[in-house]
Amino acid sequence: MNSNYNYTHKEMETLALLGDSLIIYKNLQHKEVFLSLQDLLHTFTDRQSTTQKIIKSYHNFCALAVENNWPACMADLILEDDNFFTRQAATAGPKGISRKVKELAARDLIILQELATLGSSLFKHAAEKVFEKILPTKDPIPGELQPGPGSPFACSGQYPFDPFTPFTWPEWEKNSTEESASSCSQPDAGTSGAWLQTRQREIKDLLLRAESWSDVVEPLAGYYHQFGYGLFSSYPSFRWQRGTGGGSLQGISRPDPIRLEQLIGLSAEHELILENTERFLADYPASNMLLYGDRGSGKSSTVKALAHTYIGRGLRLVELAKPDLGDLPVVMRLLAGYRHKFIIFIDDLSFEETEQEYKTLKAVLEGGLEVKPDNVLIYVTSNRHHLIKETFSERRGDEVHAGDSMQEKLSLADRFGLTVIFSTPDQKGYLHIVDRLAARLELPIDQNELHRLALHWEMWHNGRSGRTARQFVDHLAAGLQMSPHKNIR
């Protein structure tokens, strides 16, 4: 941290102008904490600044610095920024970036490091010198805060600080190297979110500990190339959110932590899905997939688990709701501009006979003029094999070419290159899932009693499925935890 507190007015002006001279990372100028720092610096260079403005600017920035974990949050801003250095690095890697762009990035990083290391003592010292000059000794100046003889702040012990004594002001340095308690919730260990956070922590530590941030240009470029920037470097899964001004991708801070190894009895189904996904990630031809089967059979959980399995190879999931299917072409055009591989996940999809959204999906899958990007696949789960509701009245209807209409609807499922059927387990398969889940939790229960209770549970609940087995074991485990001395036999 900079320990030279005797900055001249000219040097303070130079510091104030540093943030205004960014080129690569100029977008950071619009961030709230950065704006507050700039306001604080300009306050001290303005010869017309009042004590009230100085006090307010200092404490505004201090509040934001503590809240955002300054200066560590500067590294977050750098990793998340979208600029032509990050875009070139994400696309071409460190070797594909021009020397000029690297030089400009290094220049900006030096500026950001200088600003990040400005400590509270510097501003306290500057405020003290300013206050000595502008605070009145005799007649009060209209509009100024006045420390009078009867001031409640004057050494009464009633207040922990005196606004007119800068060295009683709070500091932000003590929180600068700690993880902010108000930061986003921590993802489950072993998941894609935790993996991404570990990679972020590594590059942030490298940056913050470097003697000169300009030395980290190459590692930063490598990070952008492997993990991307902005949302895609921070989240493994996303949701398309439609708003009044159009749609946007929203990161999912706590995605479902389900892992493939937790889905028991689906090895055959997983083999097909993993083989197709592996081809996609290796840039070989791969198919859009329809995962079809009864409810609770593990279709959705399998797709969500792919994000944790392949996060290190650049896979990201984008969830698209059925009402937003009309935005599917927009979403694909957006994702086409990134290096990552994306699976657009449409869960529990089916259409009533009056709904026409299926035509958009049908055109995107095959038959539209716009080619689907090479870095995008569509995985759909459904309880209906043909996705669109079909009635007997349609077959007996008075439409001259009723068969053509039926074929148009049934052809949607045919547009998927691969259909994977998730079957309902038989009794033996259901009990096998229960046994495995109970063994993982080390439940103290005899197997015969476990099976008896499991069969009774499925009769009165949702039938035999992986979901029913998990719900039963979770219920049983909760009961045993509430009665820890209970040993069921």
More confident residue, 435 or 465: 435
Q: How many Cα atoms within 13 Å fall on the side-chain side of residue 438?
A: 24
Confirm if 336 and 376 have CB atoms less than 8 A apart: yes
Instruction: Give residue 341's identity as a one-letter amino acid code.
Output: K
pLDDT, one tens digit per residue, over 238-287 is 999 987 777 899 999 888 989 999 899 899 999 999 999 999 999 999 99
pLDDT at 144 over 60: no
Q: How far is CA 410 from CA 129, 385, 386, in A?
A: 80, 9, 6
pLDDT, one tens digit per residue, over 419-432 is 999 988 889 998 99
Backbone angles phi, psi at 445, to 5 degrees: -145, 140
Place of tokens 């979901």: 467
Confirm if 39 and 57 have CB atoms less than 8 A apart: yes
Give the mean pLDDT of 70-79.
91
Residue 466's pLDDT is what? 86
Maximum pairwise Cα distance, the chain = 100
Write the DSSP symbol of residue 186.
Answer: P
CB atoms within 10 A of CB 92: 14
Task: Give the global pTM.
Answer: 0.77
pLDDT at 354 over 80: no
pLDDT, one tens digit per residue, over 2-49 is 444 556 777 888 888 988 999 999 999 999 999 999 999 999 888 888
Residue 489's pLDDT is what? 40
Distance from CA of residue 429 to its chain's centroid? 37
Collect all residues with Cβ–Cβ distance below 8 Å to 410 and sequence separation of at least 6: 386, 388, 390
Distance of alpha carbon 27 from alpha carbon 43, whole angstroms: 22
Give the mean pLDDT of 309-315.
91
Distance of alpha carbon 383 from alpha carbon 294, whole angstroms: 5
pLDDT at 176 over 60: no
Lowest-confidence pick of 147-151, 171-175, 204-208, 216-220: 147-151
Radius of gyration of the chain (CA): 30
- Print burial letters for 375-411: b (CB count within 10 Å at least 16), e (below 16): bbbbbbbbbeebbbeeeeeeeeeeeeeeeeebeebee
Percentage of the chain beyond pLDDT 70 is 80
Average pLDDT, the chain: 82
